Amino acid sequence: MSTTPPLSDLRKSYEQGTLDEREAASAPQQQFETWLSEALARGIPEPNAMTVATVGENGRPSTRIVLIKGCDARGIVWYSNYHSRKGRELEARPFAALQFHWVEMERVVRIEGRVEKVSAEESDRYFASRPLGSRIGAWASPQSEVIDGRGVIVARAADYGLKFGLNPPRPPHWGGYRLLPDYWEFWQGRTSRLHDRIAYRLQDDGTWQRQRLAP
């Protein structure tokens, strides 16, 4: 007989913090940067990891984990293979949702908006800053395609390593994406499931409307 407790019996009391709309930043990017800085200061494992959700041609959503590589007034940036499943889905439907989950701080951030590719110059600069193995890997992996085994990737990496040496150029099928937010939501766990949820919606005049949502 299994000693694992039923999933329905799992419980957690959220008591790490609060989020008041009167004290939250007037602009969502500022609020995000504050929370991200606090996650970094706490030593949260991979605080830069985020879920990216896209939608395929059949209307089915799909998610994966990527790492944020930039955040400024223009939006949220990450890098990937343009020919991957998410790349193909973004090409057909250039909208996405992002989610950060900092479990130890009982916080979630959700972001939605239109997605565009960053400039070739931005992609070149970031690619040049990556470790050599990662640059070779960008050439070696036909991301999201079916392969016969790990040996395929290992062999391709060896081939491209020999071809490019220490200076592999950026593959034309690899580069950055920028999500241009029009919606942010900040979730702070609270006791009795009466969580704090503060949403920011972009208005036509470029300002942000800040609202509290019921948990």
Residue 106 region by backbone torsions, left for phi larger than 0, else alpha for psi between -120 and 50, else beta: left
Q: Is 193 a catalytic residue?
A: yes
**Measured CA angle at 44 (ends 41, 49), to 5 deg:** 115
Q: For residues 108 and 12, what is the distance between their CA atoms, to the nearest angstrom?
A: 16
Output the known binding site for substrate.
11-14, 69, 126, 130, 134, 193-195
Output the known binding site.
11-14, 64-69, 79-80, 85-86, 126, 130, 134, 143-144, 187, 193-195, 197
Query: Residue 46: which H helix or E strand, with range?
Result: none
Q: Kindly state the tokens that stand for 95.
A: 């909208």
Output the known binding site for FMN.
64-69, 79-80, 85-86, 143-144, 187, 197
Exactly one of 22, 60, 150, 193 is catalytic; name it.
Answer: 193
C-alpha neighbours within 13 Å on the C-beta side of residue 44:
19
Q: For residues 108 and 110, what is the distance between their CA atoms, to the nearest angstrom?
A: 7
Alpha-carbon distance values, 147 to 63, 126, 143, 199 (Å): 21, 28, 10, 42
Residues annotated as catalytic are 193
